[in-house]
Amino acid sequence: MSNVEVQYMKMEKIVSVGFSFLLMVVGLAQVADAQNRTVRNEAERISGDSFGITSRTPLGAIVYSVNRPSKAVLAAVDNGLTDLFAVARKNRFRNRLNYSDYSIYIGKADRQKDASGQYSPDIAIPSAQYAGTVYDKGGYIYAAGIVVALNPCAFMIAEHTKNFERISEVVRYEGEHLVLYHNDRQRYKQTADHSQGGGHPILQ
């Protein structure tokens, strides 16, 4: 076999490997896109909103929203995730501690104030297992945030126009459920449902 033929065979192999890699990348991208569509459909089902705006926080989390979020809102999301990751590492957790792991949906608030008159943008969701508890407002409850998907990691919060530190707090608290799901499944099961008592922060 001549040197030319050897070189040609090597080139064919490189092209074949490169094409296979390209197909794999395209396939993974299609799977990720399908997952994102499924999660977005679920978020829209829960909230009744249409999340037509996609943003990214300075540190890399993805934000889907009804209205374009301000820089202060995006920074508040990052601050909440930063606090979440710090306490997760303190508990020796390692999985899902990247900003890009998280998708945050910001929906329209179903109320602006709580029963005491305090600013509290929250989302109304069916009471389900909370029926009959102090949270039940007549077949629904008000939630500061709600997990939309466990994998990929996604949760929803209500739109805020002020008190952005509350966004950071809600992001950290909703993120706790997802960190536990991916790092301590038993503890996740024990704390995923607050209807029997217990609340946030879960991780200390």
Tens digits of per-residue pLDDT, 49-106? 999 999 999 999 999 999 999 999 999 999 999 999 999 999 999 999 999 999 999 9
Q: What is the pLDDT of residue 88?
A: 98
For the segment 117-140, the average pLDDT, to the nearest whole number, is: 79
Tens digits of per-residue pLDDT, 150-204? 999 999 999 999 999 999 999 999 999 999 999 999 999 999 887 666 788 999 9
For the segment 1-12, the average pLDDT, to the nearest whole number, is: 54
**Distances, alpha carbon 37 to alpha carbons 42, 77, 120, 159, 171, in Å:** 9, 22, 29, 21, 22
131 has a pLDDT exceeding 60: yes
For the segment 38-59, the average pLDDT, to the nearest whole number, is: 95
16 has a pLDDT exceeding 80: no
Q: What is the pLDDT of residue 27?
A: 45
In degrees and rounded to multiples of 5, residue 182 shows phi and psi of: -90, -5
> From CA 140, how far away is CA 135, in angstroms rounded?
8
**Distances, alpha carbon 171 to alpha carbons 66, 104, 181, in Å:** 18, 8, 16
For the segment 30-54, the average pLDDT, to the nearest whole number, is: 84
Q: What is the pLDDT of residue 35?
A: 72
